A and B are shown apart, each in its own frame.
Chain A
């Protein structure tokens, strides 16, 4: 079975054209990973206060919350979907932790409950978006309403409560783990990053995730089960979003079902700034991490320049447009023929 068939004409090898897209893809990925560095330089020039351990750590803590929330968005986008239920999931975890802790539940028990609820949300999202080719945009939108409503009903709207001290420590810029001067939130994020990248690059599941995003029909015939992939993708996303929700409880002490709302657009923004194509089948969480760092520093920069939240929003919008114009443009119809 190992006989080689040589192609008749060796000149045909030369005739086979190198793909035109490859160079630009490389160039843009360099750009993506350099942009956090460039942004950091700009930030230190305008806001010198950032250049301290505490300054860097507080940036990283903010980035870890957004980073965890954006895991699900990245994978959802990579399989050609989108997840609008992330804010609701964040709010759910946030409220459950604070409310139940105040009622005297043990933290492990709370975590167990949050994990179970997250898996339920993810499974429902995955199953429903596999049904009849329903658009995940609408499915996750409905799921968001359902989750938020259920949490409110369950808690009767009394969403305040207590926060375990170690969560407050976890998000404190001066916090440390095992004597290393890095807050636990950042460690958690780095660990998640490592696992997510390992799954993307070295596992059968990771390859199937890309295959599903690239061509669903072909993926099915290549023995991929789209339902399974979707359920895992949305479940992992919900778990990470819940982690972000728990961490958020450490910031203010107060809790709210709507605490996750800003993360609807900021997770999409991070994915987009990282350059993961919304068409699916390509991209990686590593890019989203670059996007998370850039957007976090960008916001800090604008705050440092005393630009109000409204104009921050405007400038973020403009920045997205500029970035995408540089490396994320669609092809013209003619180029798809």
Chain B
């Protein structure tokens, strides 16, 4: 199945096996990256691809087998060692320090313990070039990253990688923190590097990105290398079926047209809502039993909007109201919102969601424990029954409430987090980007779950950064731009182009009459390499 590379490999994994204690994370992994290619690495969570990334970045050393750089076996004992072999990595998590300036963040690790590798001026010039090429302001290098957006923080880590001498750049889901325009800039920059013979190992869940970018792709499944395919073969359908081992994997259930909802039947609404100081005010209605998607570029207010609706974040002005048995109750905070039937699933799973030292059962039951308690004492059997029900409904693997949460894959941990709030049987479920960095299997289960919930009368508000996802599972999509809801799309109007245009503050009707807009659109759809 594999296509032999034309030139000797830049980096090669030969017969790599990696074990954590008795668990085999990777067995007989083979991967060969040719000079000047963008090599995709795909697989569902738990397929071993993050282990591959860690081995190549010097974070872990393999139990068996060899890592070869330029044909020679090397020992990548630390990230510093990997960088000496000109392998640089950008992770999904934006690893920056808030106490150092952007510039220090970029160049830390290039020096010795005491010796500075280059002058401050040389550093600034090199970094400014890269930052500018990614379309960001050089000002992000001067200040500390406290106040930067997620995308700007990721620009810093990308710059950190690109200012170093490199032959192989590993992007480990690194694009999920970027907004679309920065991502497209990055792809263009990578195209230049590729022409100079540098290679990229590209790990992503986004099929559209893979389609645009890669020359070849290696597919991992359950710790094994399924195979490497060339560009022609690497269609989304083919990759998905290789990843899952099934032939129907490419199918998404597309929500069969928005069911018509009575406009009067509103369960949650924002009135004269303003998300941040001086942002324009808007109204937003959430209808009973619908799935309302919240879209928009990163940092354009989508995240603020879901937080405001859930009462986690105060409104700058205006109010959020929820329908309580026919009368409108104002939402003043997330505890009060919870009592009014609103549940909020936070976005950053590790920072805002999980309790790493606790079990799956404890994590799942945390918010609803008082319902099983009398005088502060809870009944374990009653809690456990409920936990098992939710785990069954969500398909959490393994089905064991006493399992430590840290042992679960990202997708399963996300299910537990959603289960924590489903257990509260809310009227309105608000989800902040629940599927970022989650594998396709979980996504499929998740779409089905949302449908099932809405059929039972629950209302869902879901933020997503992926347009495809919004189209797949939402009845209506509210697109945020410049800290307001720019447009709410539904029915016939809910198309890929319309959502994309709204993200950039335009209506599709404008776009047809303007060349400028369609070029904007083109950059996104087909960045050619």
Q: Which residues of A contact B (CB under 8 A)?
A: 1-9, 11-23, 198, 202-205, 207-208, 210-211, 213-215, 217-219, 221-224, 277, 280-282, 334, 337
Q: Contact: A337 with B54, CB < 8 Å?
A: yes
**A203 CA to B375 CA, complexed, in Å:** 9
Partner of B407, one of A12, A19, A215, A334: A19
Interchain residue pairs A-B with the least CB separation, the first 8: A19-B407, A281-B357, A214-B355, A15-B222, A17-B23, A282-B357, A20-B20, A222-B366
Residue of B nearest to A334 (CB): B59
* Contacts known (A213-B357, A221-B344); A204 close to B392, Cβ less than 8 A: no
Q: Would you call B9 an interface residue if the criterion is a C-beta within 8 Å of the partner chain's C-beta atoms?
A: no
Q: Contact: B420 with A222, CB < 8 Å?
A: yes
Instruction: Please encode chain B, from 26 to 58, with 1 for each CB lying within 8 Å of some chain A CB and 0 for all others.
Output: 000000000000000000101100000010000
Q: Contact: A9 with B366, CB < 8 Å?
A: no
* Residues in B236-255 with C-beta less than 8 Å from chain A: 244-246, 249
Residues of B within 8 A of A208 (CB): 366
Residues of B within 8 A of A11 (CB): 222, 245
**A223 CA to B369 CA, complexed, in Å:** 10
Q: Contact: B60 with A334, CB < 8 Å?
A: yes
- Pick 20 A–B contacts, CB within 8 A, sort by A: A1-B393, A3-B452, A8-B249, A11-B222, A11-B245, A16-B46, A16-B397, A16-B409, A17-B25, A202-B377, A203-B377, A204-B377, A210-B357, A211-B358, A213-B357, A215-B354, A217-B352, A218-B346, A218-B351, A218-B354
Instruction: Please encode chain B, from 310 to 323, with 1 for each CB lying within 8 Å of some chain A CB and 0 for all others.
Output: 00100000000000
Q: Would you call B362 an interface residue if the criterion is a C-beta within 8 Å of the partner chain's C-beta atoms?
A: yes
**A21 CA to B356 CA, complexed, in Å:** 12
**A228 CA to B376 CA, complexed, in Å:** 14
Q: Contact: B362 with A210, CB < 8 Å?
A: yes
Q: Which residues of B contact A (CB under 8 A)?
A: 20-23, 25, 44, 46-47, 54, 59-60, 78, 91, 222-223, 244-246, 249, 312, 334-335, 338, 344, 346, 351-358, 362, 365-367, 369-370, 373, 376-378, 380, 389, 392-395, 397-398, 403-404, 406-409, 412, 420, 425, 441, 444-445, 448-449, 452-453, 456
Using A8-B441, A223-B335 as known contacts, list a sample of 20 further A-B pairs with CB atoms less than 8 Å apart, ordered by residue number in A: A4-B395, A5-B394, A5-B395, A5-B452, A8-B444, A9-B441, A12-B397, A16-B412, A17-B23, A17-B46, A20-B21, A20-B23, A22-B407, A203-B376, A204-B377, A224-B366, A280-B357, A281-B355, A334-B78, A337-B54
* Contacts known (A218-B346, A218-B353, A218-B355); A7 close to B23, Cβ less than 8 A: no
Q: Contact: A19 with B356, CB < 8 Å?
A: no
Residues of B within 8 A of A198 (CB): 377
**A1 CA to B351 CA, complexed, in Å:** 30
**A207 CA to B369 CA, complexed, in Å:** 9
Q: Contact: B376 with A12, CB < 8 Å?
A: no
* Contacts known (A4-B395, A204-B370); A218 close to B357, Cβ less than 8 A: no
